[in-house]
Amino acid sequence: MGRSGIILAAIALIIAGCLSAISMAVEDDKTVIGIDFGTSSCRVGFYKDGHVEIIPNDLGNRTTPSWVAFTEDSSSSESPLIGEAAKNQVALNAERTVFDVKRLIGRSFEEKEVQSVMKVAPYKIVKKDRKPCIRIEFKDGESKVFSPEEISAMILTKTKETAEAFIGKKITDAVVPVPSYFGDEQRQAILDACLIAGLNDVTIIDEHMAVAYAYGLHDEEEPVKNILVVDVGDGGTLDVSVLETEYGLLDYLAKNHLGGEDYNQRIMEHFIKLIKNKYGKDVSKDNRALVKLSIEAERTKRALSRRHEVCVELFEHVFQTVTFEELNNDLIMGLVKKAIEEAPRLEKHQIDDIIVVGGSSNVPKVQKLLRDYFDGKLEPKMIVNPAEAVAIGAAVAGHLVIKQRASHSMC
């Protein structure tokens, strides 16, 4: 090789080194946020200096309601109200206030979950291209139809802007956990909503995997460990899974889900039984009564995610107090037992840890039920704030994404 060839080769190496350094610097400067896009509320966090920070919104709250509201004068050029601002005005503007959109996203119009939402939602849900969409009526007869992805994107945009204001730079990357029972269409719909919100590089992971990251199970050095995850969420969903960790590798052994529609049915059955036992009336074949009880079941489910007991109007101005425990005891433990039974070659005594998460997991009775089931030998872990575990795990996963990119850049 001549002198000029050697010089060119040296220059090429210098350029390659500089490009690699620039690439690594860009990756080091990247921030991947973790977003817990929940049915009832959202949380966002990021990994910094060895720990996760949950980012407060502009009101100083660590959680933002997953609510969107349009005013009568709203036009395409005006921004809707998001979060607390939307939720606080629902009494005066119910038909233009949208919530529970996660229960609609990625579903077909005919699905039971969609029909369940339609029974009680104050806003109008219409069919468009076989999908549920939200129609908002404005003044002078003007109306506009929004897809669940578009409404979700409004919430995600607010969450993204909250993170950008706190961190001080533009954010385009995120990790967004979804329930393990979400199918391909629902996962794709979440990705579409993220893209509309300006999140161009999004990693989807299962919520219980995020919980495992939050508890550092990906760093475990033990050969095999079986973890029971019990997720008692807001909005009436119950998820139970059994995870196996082996030297930090995570895998599902079993997972069970009780959705909003199933939860409603359980509450209705409880009401029907109450009426029959206490008042001697069998309303199980009375369609009018069943519609009334269906609406009360949805209202009760919501109320019990916020407080311990609810006063319910069963029929003909007859009221009954219903507690969280009496509706959930058999549901939670039924799912726990089923998950353990379905986990291959696993028995109850082989569960090493219990992790309890979700907005309703702080109810003492839930923790007692689990302790009693395991004969007092296992204590439910709640080291991480159970309401924030998914967001924390998503932020940890975001940090791992950055590390992985950096290692690829070095190669």
Domains of the chain: 32-205+391-410 (3.30.420.40), 218-383 (3.30.420.40)
From the candidates 207, 220, 261, 298, give the one annotated as an active-site residue. Answer: 207
What is the rounded CA–CA span in Å between residue 90 and residue 85? 9
State both tokens at 334.
């039924």
From the candidates 27, 36, 220, 296, give the one annotated as an active-site residue. Answer: 36
> Residues with Cβ < 8 Å from 181, sequence gap 6 or more?
239, 255, 257, 259
Q: In the annotation, is 234 catalytic?
A: no
Q: In the annotation, is 231 catalytic?
A: yes
From the candidates 87, 102, 158, 255, give the one annotated as an active-site residue. Answer: 102
Contact 41, 67 (CB under 8 A): no
Which pLDDT score, from 0 to 100, does residue 400 have? 92
Q: In the annotation, is 36 catalytic?
A: yes
Long-range contacts of 218-225 (CB under 8 A, 24+ apart): 218/245, 218/248, 218/250, 218/396, 218/400, 219/248, 220/245, 220/247, 220/248, 221/247, 221/248, 222/246, 222/247, 223/247, 225/352, 225/353
Q: In the annotation, is 102 catalytic?
A: yes
What is the rounded CA–CA span in Å between residue 347 and residue 341? 7
- Over the chain (411 residues), the average pLDDT of each successive run of 10 is 45 44 50 94 95 96 95 69 94 91 96 87 94 92 94 97 96 96 96 97 96 91 90 76 92 85 79 89 85 81 75 82 80 90 93 88 80 93 90 96 76 56
Which pLDDT score, from 0 to 100, does residue 409 have? 62
Which strand (E) or helix (H) includes residue 177?
Answer: strand 173-178
Which pLDDT score, from 0 to 100, does residue 352 have? 95
Which pLDDT score, from 0 to 100, does residue 222 have? 80
Which pLDDT score, from 0 to 100, does residue 182 have? 93
Which pLDDT score, from 0 to 100, does residue 152 have? 98
pTM of the model: 0.84
